[in-house]
Amino acid sequence: MERQAPRFLARQNFPLLLEQLVEHGYRLHGPQVRDGAIVYDTFHSVDQLPRGVQDQQQVGSYRLITSSNKRLFHWANGPQALKPLLQPAREVLWQAKRDANGALAFMVPESSIAKVAVIGVKACDMAALALQDQHFLQGEYEDPGYRARREGLFLVAVDCSYAADTCFCASTGDGPSAQTGFDLVLTELETGYLIAAGSDKGLSILPHLPLLDAQPQDLDIAQQQHADVVAMQSRALQPIPIGGLDRQRGHPQWQDIADRCLGCGNCTMVCPTCFCHHQKDELAIKGDESQHVREWDSCFGESHGELTGFQVRKTIKHRYQQWMIHKLDSWQEQYGRSGCTGCGRCMSWCPADIDFVKEANVLGGGSE
Amino acid sequence: MSRDYQTQTPIAARVVEFIQESDAIFTLRLQLEDAAERARYQFMPGQFNMLYLFGVGEVPISIVSDPLDDDIIDHTVRVVGRVTRGLAQLKKGDRLGLRGPFGHGWPLALARDKDLLIVTGGLGCAPVVSAINYALKRPEHYRKLSIVQGVKHANDLIWQHRYDDWREREGVEVLLAADEAGPAWPFHVGRITELLDHVTTAYDNCVVMICGPEGLMQRAAELLLEKGVPPYSIYLSMERNMQCAVGHCGHCQLGADFICKDGPVFVYPDIRERLLQEGV
ipTM of the prediction:
0.92
Residues B36 and B132 grouped into a single domain: no
Q: How confident is the model at residue B21 (pLDDT cuts 50, 70, 90)?
A: confident
Cα separation of the two ends of chain B? 30
Residues B87 and B153 grouped into a single domain: no
d(C-alpha B80, C-alpha B24), whole Å: 8
A343-361 pLDDT tens trace = 999 999 999 999 999 999 9
The answer to whether B5 faces chain A, any CB pair under 8 Å, is yes
Averaged pLDDT, A120-134: 98
The answer to whether A7 and A185 have CB atoms below 8 angstroms apart is no
What b/e sequence results for B209-245 when a residue is b if at least 16 CB atoms lie within 10 Å of its CB, and e otherwise?
A: bbbbebebbbbbbbbbbeeebbeebbbbbbbbbbbbb
The answer to whether B94 faces chain A, any CB pair under 8 Å, is yes
Query: How many CB contacts within 8 angstroms connect chain A with chain B?
Result: 132
Residues B136 and B253 grouped into a single domain: yes
Residues of B in contact with A103 (CB under 8 A): 12, 33, 95
Question: How many domains, chain B?
Answer: 2
B191-224 pLDDT tens trace = 888 999 999 999 999 999 999 989 899 999 999 9
- Centre a 10 Å sphere on the Cβ of residue B112 and count the other Cβ atoms it contains: 15
Residues of A in contact with B280 (CB under 8 A): 312-313, 318, 322
Kindly state the percentage of chain B with pLDDT values over 90.
69
Residues B162 and B265 grouped into a single domain: yes
Domain boundary among B101, B125, B153: B101
The answer to whether B251 faces chain A, any CB pair under 8 Å, is yes
Residues B72 and B200 grouped into a single domain: no
CA distance B226 to chain A (A): 25
B167 found inside a domain: yes
Domain boundary among B77, B101, B125: B101
Residues B76 and B149 grouped into a single domain: no
What b/e sequence results for B38-63 when a residue is b if at least 16 CB atoms lie within 10 Å of its CB, and e otherwise?
A: beebebbbbbbbbbbbbbbbbbbbbb
| CATH number of the domain bearing residue B159 | 3.40.50.80
Written as one letter, the residue type at A225 is: Q
Of A275, A305, A331, which has the smallest distance from its Cβ to B248's Cβ? A275
The more confidently predicted of residues B241 and A263 is: A263
Q: What is the pLDDT of residue A176?
A: 97
Instruction: Say if residue A111's pLDDT is above 80.
Output: no
B121 found inside a domain: yes
Q: How confident is the model at residue B2 (pLDDT cuts 50, 70, 90)?
A: very low
Q: What is the pLDDT of residue B191?
A: 87
B155 found inside a domain: yes
Q: What is the pLDDT of residue B3?
A: 46
Mutation target among A141, A297, A316 for the B interface, most CBs of B within 10 A: A141
Averaged pLDDT, B6-18: 93
B108 found inside a domain: no
Of A96, A135, A143, which has the smallest distance from its Cβ to B54's Cβ? A96
The answer to whether B101 and B32 have CB atoms below 8 angstroms apart is no
B110 found inside a domain: no
Residues B41 and B179 grouped into a single domain: no
Residues B133 and B249 grouped into a single domain: yes
B106 found inside a domain: no
- Mean pLDDT, chain A, as a whole number? 95
Residues B257 and B124 grouped into a single domain: yes
Instruction: Say if residue B158's pLDDT is above 90.
Output: no
Phi, psi dihedrals of residue B81, rounded to the nearest 5°? -150, -165
Residues B96 and B121 grouped into a single domain: no
d(C-alpha B59, C-alpha B54), whole Å: 12
Of B58, B241, B244, which has the smallest distance from its Cβ to A306's Cβ? B241
Instruction: Say if residue B127's pLDDT is above 90.
Output: no
Q: What is the pLDDT of residue B1?
A: 33
A17-75 pLDDT tens trace = 999 999 999 999 999 999 999 999 999 999 999 999 999 999 999 999 998 889 999 99
Instruction: Say if residue A244's pLDDT is above 70.
Output: yes
The answer to whether A49 and A34 have CB atoms below 8 angstroms apart is no
B261–A141 CB contact, under 8 Å: yes
Averaged pLDDT, B172-200: 88
Of A281, A297, A331, which has the smallest distance from its Cβ to B56's Cβ? A281
The more confidently predicted of residues B68 and B159 is: B68
Residues of B in contact with A322 (CB under 8 A): 253, 279-280
Kindly state the percentage of chain B with pLDDT values over 70.
97
B232-271 pLDDT tens trace = 999 999 988 899 999 999 999 999 999 999 999 999 999 9
Residue B103: which region, alpha, beta or left (left: phi > 0; alpha: psi -120 to 50)? left
B107 found inside a domain: no
Instruction: Say if residue B4's pLDDT is above 70.
Output: no
Residues of B in contact with A318 (CB under 8 A): 278-280
Domain boundary among B56, B78, B101: B101
The answer to whether A86 and A155 have CB atoms below 8 angstroms apart is no
CA distance A282 to chain B (A): 7
User: Which residues constitute the domain of residue B95?
Assistant: 5-101
Residues B141 and B200 grouped into a single domain: yes
The sign of the dihedral angle between the CA atoms of B217, B219, B224, B225 is positive
| CATH number of the domain bearing residue B91 | 2.40.30.10
The answer to whether A249 and A182 have CB atoms below 8 angstroms apart is no
- Centre a 10 Å sphere on the Cβ of residue B132 and count the other Cβ atoms it contains: 23
**Among all residues of chain B, which has the CA nearest to that of A299?**
B251
Instruction: Say if residue A304's pLDDT is above 80.
Output: yes
Mutation target among A279, A282, A324, A337 for the B interface, most CBs of B within 10 A: A279
Residues B151 and B237 grouped into a single domain: yes
B45 found inside a domain: yes
Q: How confident is the model at residue B6 (pLDDT cuts 50, 70, 90)?
A: low
**How far from chain centre, in Å, is Cα A86?**
10
Nearest Cα neighbor of B74 from B98, B56, B57, B55 is B98
**Among all residues of chain A, which has the CA nearest to that of B240?**
A307
> Looking at A12-16, A146-150, B46-50, B185-189, which range is the least confident one?
B185-189
A65-81 pLDDT tens trace = 998 889 999 999 999 99
pTM of the predicted protein model: 0.94
Q: How confident is the model at residue B23 (pLDDT cuts 50, 70, 90)?
A: confident
Phi, psi dihedrals of residue A263, rounded to the nearest 5°? 65, 30
